[in-house]
Amino acid sequence: MIRRLLQAAALAAVILVLQAFLPASAHAHDPGTTLLSVGSSGDTDLEITAQIPLSRIDLAYHTRLDSDPAPAVRASANWLATVVRDRVRLTAADGATWPVTVDDVAADRQRGLNTARVRLTAALPTAATRARSAELRWDVVTDVVYSHKVLVTADGRTSLLTHQTPVVRLAVPAPPPASVPAASMLHAGFEHFRQGADHLLFLCVIALAAARRSLRRARLRARVTLMAGITAMFTAGHSVSLALASLGWVSLPTRVVDAGIALTIVVAAAHAVRPALSARTELALTTAFGLVHGLGFAGTLQRLALTGTDLILPLLSFNLGLEAAQLLALALIAVPIAVLARSPAVSVTLAASAAAVATGWVVERAFDLTNPVQPLTGMLLGTPERLAGALFAATAVLLIARATRPEDAPRESFRDPEDFWSPERQEVFRIMRGQDARRCSRSAVIARTPTPMARSSAVKSSACGTPCSPTPR
């Protein structure tokens, strides 16, 4: 018991050390994300519409706008306009600066959160007209809250801005295109999954459950088959719901979808603690969870407002990007998960930690409350590389602990019979095994004795230990 507690403490220490050095990152469906939409206004102007969550403005600049949104935003409109104008910069490819003006600031509500809707216009200088491109630098909120994300939609492409990468290159958008380039949607799908902490954590939890279940199987082929089946069912589920939501046939509130995604992680983590479901039930449950995650994936495609056949290629490209990122993440975490799953203490610690993180997301997304663990989880679950690094570090700690363990220390393994059989039970097992052997010897005596009388005599002789050599009649 003490050794298991030490292993759990070592794992927690590794996680805390990694969190101290990794940059912050919010999860994929963080309702606190700023949304930027860039479009054209005439031949030489760009129009930018920003939805900035008031809770993030309050956090960054020590205001109280979210407590009474409409009057507070109205009273602070000039201050907000100045804050945005001073922290937004557009520079053309030749170095010319675009003058940015704030046209309107108003209170709004998006995805269940109070926001400040800010409309900006950037006039293209004459000298830069031929370039038709510019770099957008956005430092509103991200200059103070490092974990904040800004999702930019422009020219049919989606980009992500953070404190570490606050600049994105924009082409001067033409009128809304009839179709979207497949390469851009492939990249958008890849980055959506790669930056989605909730999807990464769910993948980690179902991999842990599969690894713990496959410990009962001796061959590597059986383990790989089980993991491949679970991944395929998750892919099938989110592909179906992604298509249905993108076509507009299924629509649920964003808050419900985001909270549902977090809830799937809680259930999967509980299952990983003790994988007691049958393989068929587990595959069906994973498919159902995939349907929920697919509704979250559909947000990017819905913002493009494509319909009919124009949606087919972007949908397929986006889904392929998702699958590529999912396979990459699985390849990175499969080995450390397989090693960590062999320790009951570490496995339970991982599953419990995932459940705690997901519970915080459920509270934040469903009830619009502050998530106290978000700053820590954002550091660890920003990308598959960070998650894999943390898991490999935990694996190294576990292997070192096993290598330095005294030889006379009890072993901790799912396959070790010493974990279940006490010395008294082993003694009973040996006695029973001896009784079975005697029964087998009596059966052999009866089988080779020709008459009933001789069989009775032979069995008695066998029971008393004398040689069993019946005299033929």
Task: Return the top range by mean pLDDT from 127-131, 155-159, 228-232.
Answer: 228-232
Give tens-digit pLDDT for 405-423: 776 555 554 443 334 444 5
CA distance 423 to 421: 7
Q: How confident is the model at residue 50 (pLDDT cuts 50, 70, 90)?
A: very high
CA distance 432 to 443: 17
Helix, strand, coil shares, percent, the chain, to 5: 60, 15, 25
**Region 144-157 average pLDDT:** 84
Asked whether residue 472 carries a pLDDT value surpassing 80, the answer given is: no
Q: Residue 131's pLDDT is what? A: 53
CA distance 203 to 103: 44
> In which order are the strands placed within the sheet that holds 100-110?
100-110, 113-123, 45-53, 34-40, 150-154, 157-161
Give tens-digit pLDDT for 74-112: 999 999 999 999 999 888 777 778 888 898 999 998 777
3-class DSSP state for residue 48? Answer: strand
Q: How confident is the model at residue 304 (pLDDT cuts 50, 70, 90)?
A: low
Alpha carbon separation from 309 to 73, 177, 188, 277 (Å, rounded)? 42, 13, 20, 41
Q: Across all residues in the chain, what is the average pLDDT?
A: 76
Asked whether residue 46 carries a pLDDT value surpassing 90, the answer given is: no
Q: How confident is the model at residue 243 (pLDDT cuts 50, 70, 90)?
A: confident
Alpha carbon separation from 137 to 73, 386, 471 (Å, rounded)? 24, 26, 105
Asked whether residue 297 carries a pLDDT value surpassing 80, the answer given is: yes
Q: Residue 433's pLDDT is what? A: 59
Q: How confident is the model at residue 296 (pLDDT cuts 50, 70, 90)?
A: confident
Give tens-digit pLDDT for 20-35: 333 333 334 455 789 9
**Region 193-198 average pLDDT:** 85
What DSSP line would sit under 151-190, residue for residue?
EEEETTEEEEE-SS--EEEEE---SPPSS--HHHHHHHHH
**Torsion from C-alpha of 450, 454, 459, 463, nearest 10 degrees:** -140
| Residues facing 52 on adjacent strands | 116
Non-local CB neighbours of 24 within 8 Å, separated by 6+ positions: 146, 147, 163, 375, 378, 379, 382
**Region 186-203 average pLDDT:** 87
Asked whether residue 344 carries a pLDDT value surpassing 80, the answer given is: yes
One-letter amino acid of 399: L
**Region 303-331 average pLDDT:** 82
Q: Of the ranges 36-45, 118-127, 219-228, 454-463, which one carries the lowest mean pLDDT score? A: 454-463
Q: How confident is the model at residue 9 (pLDDT cuts 50, 70, 90)?
A: very low
Report the DSSP pairing between strands 113-123 and 100-110: antiparallel
Residue 235: closest CA among 280, 181, 193: 193
Q: Residue 138's pLDDT is what? A: 92
Q: Residue 229's pLDDT is what? A: 82
Higher pLDDT, 356 or 445: 356
